[in-house]
Amino acid sequence: MTDDRSNVLVYMTGHGGDGFLKFQDSEEISSIELADAFGQMWQKRRYHEVLYIVDTCQAVSMFQQFYSPNILGVGSSQVGEDSLSHHVDSAIGVYIIDRYTYYALEFLEKITTTSQKTMDDFFKVCPYNQCHSHTGYRTDLFQRDISKVLVTDFFGSVRNVEVSTNRLPLSEVNHTRPKLEAKVSGEKYDYVDQFPSKTTENREDKKKRVQFSNQFIIANTILLAIAAVVLVSRR
């Protein structure tokens, strides 16, 4: 979970146009929706600084609507320009990487955790003779000088660590597990029907019904015997 001390890197690539980016030709996101998403993140203190990189046709249009502070925007092409692929894989017959992503990755693979390369150096990646498009940037929302912002602030996985001088009391933990004794019950259990129906009677109800029937038969037998004795005595 990010907070107000987190530097967030957002990278997007795919087919796009003026103010939108498509995902696998089925869904799309507009520049206004993306700007509002970053706006909500800023209001909820979900980032400290954001580096947004987009590699698509007319890429800079995706961050023209941004209004939240502390965001750097990098796009592979200007409005009205296409972003081109770098090379094709002959085995599968498709292009596997775009030009800007290829040269940006080539630059980043040389970065170490102690590198002093800045975002100003990163913005010089992929000039027109390599990308065949004009890369674009947006720095007006960012509060720091990009010539002093290290690339490792976003790519070096640098974490802020707070050192506390307070002692934390740790209670002893009992790692022994109590012995469990199995209790064997002498009661017998029967399986119930897995899918009982409304017509299925409970066994207890059946027993009660049988007991009631026996009592009814005995009572009727006694009454018949008394009636027979009375009739015989009258004769």
Q: Which residues are catalytic?
A: 15, 57
Q: What one-character DSSP code corresponds to residue 159?
A: -
Q: What one-character DSSP code corresponds to residue 112?
A: -
Residues β-bridged to residue 11: 53
Task: List per-residue pLDDT tens for the chain, 235 residues long.
Answer: 889 999 999 999 989 999 999 987 788 999 999 999 999 999 999 999 999 999 999 999 999 999 999 999 999 999 999 998 988 888 888 888 899 999 999 999 999 888 999 999 999 999 999 999 999 999 999 999 999 999 999 987 545 666 777 877 776 656 565 555 555 556 666 666 655 555 555 555 555 555 555 666 777 777 777 777 666 665 5
Q: Measure the CA–CA gap between 61 and 19, rounded to whole angstroms.
A: 5
Q: What pTM was estimated for this model as a whole?
A: 0.66
The pLDDT, as a whole number, for residue 211 is 55
Q: Measure the CA–CA gap between 9 and 16, rounded to whole angstroms.
A: 20
The pLDDT, as a whole number, for residue 202 is 58
Structure token digits, residue 50: 């954001």
Q: Residue 112: which of 48, 52, 158, 54 has the closest Cα?
A: 158
Q: Measure the CA–CA gap between 127 and 106, rounded to whole angstroms.
A: 14
The pLDDT, as a whole number, for residue 90 is 82
Residues β-bridged to residue 196: none
